[in-house]
């Protein structure tokens, strides 16, 4: 999951920073993000599928370790999503209420918060119940 999140973060960050500094932008960031995503997504998908198949066993469903990891993933995703969302929304409101920023500068400044918000928000919202 970490590879997929890191890849998504780098790609979103790269795309949002394009309007601000098109001449100085590094294609290495995009390549690294794509590589992380191409490697991480199948690994995450396969491990997720194996995990879902194992939940048919009673011992696995009652496992304390599984619950600890489940809550850790859920609350980490929720916390990062809420903090990133708050940072992103506060800057949007400042911009809407008159802080002088061009759209390109605004996107460049907000790229890290938004790039964290998207993958962790997806993780948080897609985590199934117990």
pLDDT at position 38: 92
Q: pLDDT tens digit string along 68-126? A: 888 887 888 788 888 888 888 888 888 888 888 777 777 777 788 888 888 888 877 77
Domain that holds residue 19: 2-126
For residue 18, how far is the Cα from the chain centroid?
19
Between CA 1 and CA 14 the distance in angstroms is: 20
Tell me, letter by letter, the H, E, C secondary structure of the chain.
CHHHHHHHHHHHHHHHHCCCCCCCCCHHHHHHHHHHHHHHHHHHHHHHHHHHHHCCCHHHHCCHHHHHHHHHHHHHHHHHHHHHHHHHHHHHHHHHCCCCCCHHHHHHHHHHHHHHHHHHHHHHHHCCCC
**Average pLDDT of 37-51?**
87
Number of structural domains (the chain) is 1
Q: Residue 68 class from Cβ within 10 Å (0-12 exposed, 13-18 middle, 19+ buried)?
A: exposed
pLDDT at position 116: 82
pLDDT at position 129: 57
Token output for 87: 């940072």
Token output for 89: 């929304």
| Residue of 4, 2, 5 lying closest to 120 (CA atoms) | 5
pLDDT at position 110: 79
pLDDT at position 94: 86
Q: pLDDT tens digit string along 5-27? A: 888 888 888 888 776 666 667 78
């Amino acid at each position: 999951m970490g590879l997929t999140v890191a890849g998504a973060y780098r790609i979103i960050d790269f795309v949002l920073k394009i309007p601000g500094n098109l001449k100085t932008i590094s294609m290495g960031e995009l390549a690294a993000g794509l590589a992380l995503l191409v490697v991480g997504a199948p690994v995450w998908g396969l491990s997720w599928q194996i995990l879902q198949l194992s939940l048919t066993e009673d011992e696995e469903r009652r496992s304390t370790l599984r619950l600890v990891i489940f809550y850790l993933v859920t609350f980490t995703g929720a916390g990062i999503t809420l903090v990133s969302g708050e940072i992103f929304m506060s800057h949007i409101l400042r911009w809407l209420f008159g802080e002088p920023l061009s759209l390109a500068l605004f996107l460049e400044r907000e790229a890290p918060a938004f790039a964290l918000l998207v993958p962790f928000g997806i993780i948080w919202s897609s985590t199934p119940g117990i």
